[in-house]
Amino acid sequence: MVTREGRAASVKDVAAAAGVSLGTVSNVLNRPDRVSASTRTRVQEAMAELGFVRNESARQLRAGTSRTLAYVMLDASNPFFTDVAQGIESAAEAADLSLVLCNSGNGAPREEAHLALLQQQRVQGVLVTPVNPESPVLEEVRRRGTPLVIVDRTRDDRSFCSVAVDDRLGGRLAVEHLVDRGHTKVAFIGGPIHLGQVRDRLEGARQAWAAAGLPEDDLVVLATEALDVQEGRNAGQRLSGLPTTRRPTAAFCANDLLALGLLQQAIGSGTRVPEQLAIVGYDDIVFASAAAVPLTSVRQPRQELGRTAAELVLDEATNDAHQHQQVLFTPELVARASTLDG
């Protein structure tokens, strides 16, 4: 019956309708075995009749805690982060928690607003890929009692749990691969250069370059303003502008979006990939393998990243003897047509 008399039905209404006490209704909800079968069905019928929905606020107020985990994503439109979210979700599901996603869209104010709300909601824990991992806001969150784990970033002091992927190693793998294929002049494309990710990948690239005994100046750095497709195209134009003799024969891009932009610009301007320009991306998003020339890329264990982060935050939430730890995953190079001619 749709008896909507202003407010929603409460346990009290259900109790009245079923002719039992309010404690019994609660028992039906939480410990059905303690209630006789006949009463139980009577109560359940009353609930259905009245369209009763348990009020989570009241429940939580009493219980003191929610059954929710939250992930504040840096950029919901980057497939990398949605994959991470899927990993988190699988761990949350296993722990019988539900996951809510928030999107900061790379904006610090939005991130702060989301974090404030999540604290107020007393979520069990927060996972976040922060705009700035060094921000004091993160400390504040934990100081106020909400467990927090940093995802795909690390903090210089080791004051938080974090999960990330070894970006230096990733950079090394990419450049070693290119060196193996005989390239002796390579461009690194990425930026802003102050981002931890970009810095580390470049550093790894330089290590591999030096290890191969190649002259430092032949690893050219093209700094970009963002890690998106448009910037990839721009970088491509800058490459095309170079005289042939000084033009790199391969490019290592700090993420796949850049690589896809570069690829597009290259093909559009008649450059053959990989014959004239080999390309390595980073992240191995689903669109990398679906590119017209399937992209060689450095794969990160995205789902596992998420899953592990969720497990850490749960440990922090439930285990008194919790120790912060910084988990570092190992990336893996996936070679495809964009570097493999013939």
Partner DNA sequence: CTGTCTGATTGAAAGGTTTCACTTCAACTC
Partner DNA sequence: GAGTTGAAGTGAAACCTTTCAATCAGACAG
Q: Which residues contact its own copies by CB under 8 A? A: 2, 4, 7-8, 51, 53-61, 64, 66, 76-77, 79, 82-83, 85-86, 89, 98-103, 105, 113-114, 117, 119-122, 143-145, 229, 232, 257, 260-261, 263-264, 267-268, 286-287, 289-294, 337
- Applying CB under 7 A, the site for DNA has a residue count of 29
Minimum CB distance to DNA, residue 26 (Å): 4
Does residue 48 touch DNA according to CB under 7 A?
Answer: no
In terms of CB distance, is 97 or 173 closer to its own copies? Answer: 97
Minimum CB distance to its own copies, residue 48 (Å): 10
Does residue 116 touch DNA according to CB under 7 A?
Answer: no
Minimum CB distance to DNA, residue 47 (Å): 10
CA distance 224 to 240: 16
Minimum CB distance to DNA, residue 137 (Å): 20
Does residue 54 touch DNA according to CB under 7 A?
Answer: yes
Does residue 149 touch DNA according to CB under 7 A?
Answer: no
- Please give the single-letter amino acid code of residue 81: F
Distances from the Cα of 156 to the Cα of 134, 150, 274, angstroms: 8, 12, 38
In terms of CB distance, is 29 or 293 closer to DNA? Answer: 29
Q: How many Cβ atoms sit within 10 Å of the Cβ of residue 148? A: 25
Does residue 59 touch DNA according to CB under 7 A?
Answer: yes
4 Cβ neighbours under 8 A, 6+ residues apart: none
Contact status, residue 177 vs residue 208, Cβ threshold 8 Å: no
CA distance 28 to 14: 11
Minimum CB distance to DNA, residue 132 (Å): 29
Minimum CB distance to its own copies, residue 75 (Å): 9
Does residue 4 touch DNA according to CB under 7 A?
Answer: no
Handedness of CA 245, 248, 250, 256 (dihedral sign): negative
In terms of CB distance, is 49 or 166 closer to DNA? Answer: 49
In terms of CB distance, is 101 or 212 closer to its own copies? Answer: 101
Q: How many Cβ atoms sit within 10 Å of the Cβ of residue 320? A: 4
In terms of CB distance, is 157 or 216 closer to its own copies? Answer: 157
- The single residue among 55, 98, 269, 318 that binds DNA, judged by CB under 7 A, is 55
Contact status, residue 236 vs residue 189, Cβ threshold 8 Å: no
In terms of CB distance, is 14 or 179 closer to its own copies? Answer: 14
Burial per residue of 45-72, b for 16 or more beta-carbon CB atoms within 10 angstroms, e otherwise: ebbeebebeeeeeeeeeeeeebebbbbb
Pick one of DNA, its own copies, none as the site partner of residue 100 (Cβ within 5 to 8 A by kind): its own copies
Could you say which residues in the range 8-47 bind DNA, by CB under 7 A?
8, 10-12, 20-27, 29-30, 34-36, 38-39
Dig out the tokens for 83 from the structure.
Answer: 């994959």
Minimum CB distance to DNA, residue 233 (Å): 49
Pick one of DNA, its own copies, none as the site partner of residue 51 (Cβ within 5 to 8 A by kind): its own copies
Residues that bind DNA (CB under 7 A): 7-8, 10-12, 20-27, 29-30, 34-36, 38-39, 52, 54-55, 58-59, 61-64
